[in-house]
Structure 1
Amino acid sequence: MLKKFKGLDRKTVLTIGRIGSVLSVLMYVSYIPQIINNLNGNYGNPVQPLVAAINCTIWVLYAILGEKKDWPLFTANFPGIIFGLITFFTSLH
């Protein structure tokens, strides 16, 4: 199975990466309904968004601290820091 992927052209690999980046951003934007619920007093569990924010922070640091900056990785994970922390703090009661 992996041998099939090794033969992919650069354009296909970039397309897969872009789709992954968009899906990552959408995953963190999906916290918005939970943030609204939290603000309305229907609190969610704070653990998952906090862990997501920490995870994204690690990936963002990895993306920018390397010799060659990985901007797609940075872009895919930075919203997770923001939305994860907002969701976490609004879920505390």
Structure 2
Amino acid sequence: MKEETRFIQILGRIATVLSVLMYVSYVPQIISNLNGQYGNPIQPLVAAINCLFWCVYAYFKMNRDWPVFFANLPGIFLGIITFVTALH
């Protein structure tokens, strides 16, 4: 049982890091948007909304799911920034 718990903890940490990296990958698009090479604003907006729902879910469930919360938190902010900078 302890091995499975340790495995799940490691898996949660890896998944959290990968999720954060996925949303940090919006930074080049934000820079392009600010330089006049606009991307499509729909995908980052939907990603931000999705991340918001996951954060609310993870925070308010009986046993808070911190890996899910922290994995999605950057997506809210970076998705919104990408969306706003893509509007022209």
2:73 aligns with: 78
Q: In structure 2, which of residues 49, 54, 76 is the aligned counterpart of residue 54 of structure 1?
A: 49
What 5-or-longer segments of structure 2 have no aligned partner?
Answer: none
Residue 21 (structure 1) aligned to one of 10, 13, 16: 16
Amino acid at match of 2:25: S
4+ residue segments displaced more than 3 Å? none
CA distance in 2, matches of 1:15, 1:71: 13
> In structure 2, what is the Cα distance between the partners aligned to 1:68 and 1:15?
18
TM-score, length-scaled by structure 1: 0.88
Q: How far has the Cα of 1:27 moved from its partner?
A: 0.1
Determine helix, strand or coil for the equivalent of 1:53: helix
Which of 65, 84, 88 pairs up with 1:89?
A: 84
Q: Residue by residue, what CA displacement relative to the aligned partner does 1:27-80 show, whole Å, maximum 9, x if unpaired?
A: 000000000000000000001000000000000010111222211111000000
Give the count of matched residue pairs: 86
CA root-mean-square deviation: 0.9
Identify unmatched segments of 5+ residues in structure 1.
1-7
Specify the alignment match of 2:61 in structure 1.
66
Q: Alignment partner of 1:45: what SS?
A: coil
